[in-house]
Amino acid sequence: MNRFPYRILFLCIFLPPLCYILTIQGLESYWQRRESERLNRIIVQDQEALYEGRYSLVEEINRNIGKYLSESLKYRLGVRARILVKTGDNRILYPVAELEPGTAGTEDDPLDAAHYMAVATENYRLLNEGLVVSLNLKVAHNSWISNSILLVYLLAAALVLRAFVRRGMRRVEALEADRRAVIERLSGQLDQTRGALKEIEAKQNGYLRRIEHLSKDKEGLSKDVDALLEEMEELETGLQSQKDLKEELEQEALRLREELDRLRAKTRHPRKRQKQAAAAAKRFRVLYKNLTFTERALTGFSGLTGEFQLKAEEVIQHLDRDDSLVSVRRKVFGKGGKMNVLEVDFSYSGRLYYQKDTRGRITVLAIGTKNTQEQDLAYLESIR
């Protein structure tokens, strides 16, 4: 796939841990507020029993909080809570390591009335002073809750990345299908042009045979010379028109062949073309020591067909030996004026651009065809 979604890949790598951290922090903040309110409601439930002195406030708080923690699902799945219950004078009521013995009676071991009264009085005093509940709640890492959250984000990232990759693959497949359709269409046009060329060649051969036959008849005939001459002129005119049409069709076939080769070259792997350009660079450095080639020229040369490469290399040989042997087609002008670049054509539509410095050193700037002329001229304008 030519355009892999690297940015989406990076986001899918870095966003899940970030979202995981933010989600854990959000859950901790939310549960911190919610659990603080709930603990304030549940720590004291049976005030009537406390005022009667049947058990102490410490027992009530520890029993209620312990029951709540054991029954709540989130504490079993990885939430860790540090709960501290104090009185107004900073006496800790929860947690306590061990309850004081004999602070309250049971049905099996009842207290006397005085002891009940003392416990009830202490409970009443503590409740009137007020209870201070503090809670520090954290979601433990590598627990069921944290691992589930991380897994959800990882699965979401994988699904997003998969969707982008599949969309890119569909786009590439559509482009390849379009290119194949264009290649098939151009191939069909090329076949039609070749068929028309064969028909024209057959007509041309027929005209030649008739001219030859009439020429032989002209030598033995003394009558109707004017009529024969007129017919010969018509045949020669038809032959010339067929030659012109043949040249036009040959140029059209050449253009279609270049377009077909260019489209086929696009479908090839770019590394193959780079290897061809590198091989051409090594060979040119050995053979043509008086010339310098740009990367654009080497890439353009490797993109030509075999016939065009032979014609282009013939021009390169002349430049290396004596540039006066090369017929310059024109001087190239840009938007800002002359660019001091000379253009040479080869094989009908081939184009080669070179530049000669003050010391006589020649640099081949670009090699291409008429189809790549606009891109080549834009390149020359950019390096001017």
- Asked if residue 85 is part of any domain, the answer here is yes
Q: Which residues of 35-49 are buried (b: 16+ CB within 10 A; e: fewer)?
A: beeebeeebbeeeee
Task: Clarify whether residues 260 and 294 are in a common domain.
Answer: no
Task: Clarify whether residues 16 and 35 are in a common domain.
Answer: yes
SS3 368: strand
> What is the reported pLDDT for 363?
93
Residue 141 phi/psi, 5° resolution?
Answer: -75, 155
pTM over 0.85: no
In 10 A of CB 220, how many CB atoms?
Answer: 6
Q: Which of 266, 299, 317 is the last residue of a domain?
A: 266
Taking the C-alpha atoms of residue 280 and residue 319, their distance in angstroms, rounded to an integer, is 17
- Asked if residue 173 is part of any domain, the answer here is no
Nearest to 299 by CA among 286, 311, 312: 312
Residues of the chain with pLDDT under 70: 1-4, 97-112, 218-228, 250, 253-255, 257-272, 334-339, 384
Cα dist from 220 to 29, 60, 186, 210, 213, whole Å: 118, 143, 51, 16, 11
> What is the reported pLDDT for 190?
87
Task: Clarify whether residues 99 and 144 are in a common domain.
Answer: yes
> What is the reported pLDDT for 104?
45
Task: Clarify whether residues 121 and 55 are in a common domain.
Answer: yes
Task: Clarify whether residues 31 and 150 are in a common domain.
Answer: yes
Nearest to 371 by CA among 294, 205, 259, 239: 259
The burial class, CB within 10 Å (0-12 / 13-18 / 19+), for 130 is exposed
- Asked if residue 170 is part of any domain, the answer here is no
With the CA atoms of 318, 321, 322 and 323 taken in that order, what torsion angle do they form, in degrees rounded to the nearest 10?
Answer: 50
> What is the reported pLDDT for 219?
65
> What is the reported pLDDT for 317?
92
Task: Clarify whether residues 244 and 129 are in a common domain.
Answer: no
The burial class, CB within 10 Å (0-12 / 13-18 / 19+), for 359 is exposed
Domain of 331, CATH number, reads 3.30.2310.20
- Asked if residue 339 is part of any domain, the answer here is yes
User: Into how many domains does the chain fold?
Assistant: 3
Task: Clarify whether residues 150 and 30 are in a common domain.
Answer: yes
23-59 pLDDT, tens digit each: 988 888 888 888 888 888 888 877 777 877 787 888 8
Q: Which of 232, 266, 300 is the last residue of a domain?
A: 266
Task: Clarify whether residues 287 and 193 are in a common domain.
Answer: no
> What is the reported pLDDT for 103?
46
- Asked if residue 171 is part of any domain, the answer here is no
Q: How many Cα atoms are found within 13 Å in the side-chain-facing hemisphere of 285? A: 8
Taking the C-alpha atoms of residue 188 and residue 18, their distance in angstroms, rounded to an integer, is 57
178-237 pLDDT, tens digit each: 888 889 888 888 888 888 888 888 888 888 888 888 777 766 665 566 666 777 777 788
Task: Clarify whether residues 282 and 189 are in a common domain.
Answer: no
- Asked if residue 169 is part of any domain, the answer here is no
Tokens 């627990």: give the residue.
143
Domain hosting residue 103, numbered range: 6-156
Task: Clarify whether residues 12 and 124 are in a common domain.
Answer: yes
Contacts of 366 (CB under 8 A, 6+ apart): 294, 296, 297, 300, 351, 352, 353, 376, 379, 380
> What is the reported pLDDT for 63?
87
> Roughly how many angstroms between the first and final C-alpha of the chain, as a whole number?
36
Task: Clarify whether residues 10 and 123 are in a common domain.
Answer: yes
Tokens 């990885």: give the residue.
78
Taking the C-alpha atoms of residue 209 and residue 259, their distance in angstroms, rounded to an integer, is 36
Which amino acid type is present at position 26? G
- Asked if residue 125 is part of any domain, the answer here is yes
Q: Which of 266, 283, 308 is the last residue of a domain?
A: 266
Contact 316, 301 (CB under 8 A): no
- Asked if residue 331 is part of any domain, the answer here is yes
Domain of 246, CATH number, reads 1.10.287
Task: Clarify whether residues 147 and 229 are in a common domain.
Answer: no
